[in-house]
Amino acid sequence: MVRGMPATLVYLIRHAETVWNVERRIQGSLDAPLTDRGRRQVTCLVAALRGVPLAALYASPLERAQETARPLAAARGLPVQTVDDLRELDQGEWEARLLDEVRAEDGERLLAWWNAPHTVRMPGGETLEEVAARARRAFDEIVARHPGRAVAAVAHGGVNKALLLAFLGAPLAAYWRIRQHNACINLIEVDGAAVRVLALNDTTHLGEHAWHPPG
């Protein structure tokens, strides 16, 4: 980036709520449709970003990210540019299974995933280190294409957290210390070599359609 050029802004978004999110079923590299609330969340995202002059819109190839991205792109006449490296963490044999099923059948590994996620590879899946490497590669390529502009990227909780931890200078061991709720917005500023997190897991635009803890 040329000295004196405006910073590049990246609106890093998690996809809207899916049926499997509600069921507590592990998605990973598989897909499930958005819920009615998820579609309302997308409408809220469109409204929240209406005034942002986006130069481009990128998304993971997974349908839940594409379904979130398409209305954002259509609202401003942009195509959705698919980036394979933004796909979610591949969770191998855990995918499509309920969390309680995994707890019953692979409880020791699940406990390790919660306590030391940077040390775990799900059977047939990826590690956080592998996800972080490809996600950062994708992020840097997107920024390089749009110096001084604003862009959006719709990805996933695991991908987003891996990126955010890197930007904050935190280890992957801190994976569970930050949250990424459905349809949240993170705002990243890239100014030369400096990368700053201006907003993290912002869901204020969702109003009544935001995630709320049970009870």
* pLDDT at 211 (0 to 100): 76
CB-CB contact of 108 with 46 (8 Å): no
State the pTM of this model.
0.94
Tens of pLDDT, residue by residue over 91-140, are 999 999 999 999 999 999 999 999 999 999 999 999 999 999 999 999 99
Class for domain 8-209, per CATH?
A: alpha beta
Stretch 143-168: mean pLDDT, rounded?
98
Sequence ranges of the domains in the chain: 8-209
Which residue from 207, 169, 168 is spatially nearest to 188, judged by alpha carbons?
168
Task: Cite the active site residues.
Answer: 15, 156
Of the pLDDT bands very low, low, confident and very high (cuts 50, 70, 90), residue 210 is confident
**Positions of E strands within 76-156:** 80-82, 150-155
In whole numbers, what is the pLDDT of the chain averaged over residues?
95
Stretch 42-53: mean pLDDT, rounded?
97
Please identify which residue in the block is written with the tokens 């004196």.
4
- What's the CA gap between 180 and 170, in Å, rounded? 16
- What's the CA gap between 167 and 118, in Å, rounded? 17
Which residue from 66, 14, 11 is spatially nearest to 211, judged by alpha carbons?
14
Number of neighbours of residue 61 by Cβ within 10 angstroms: 14
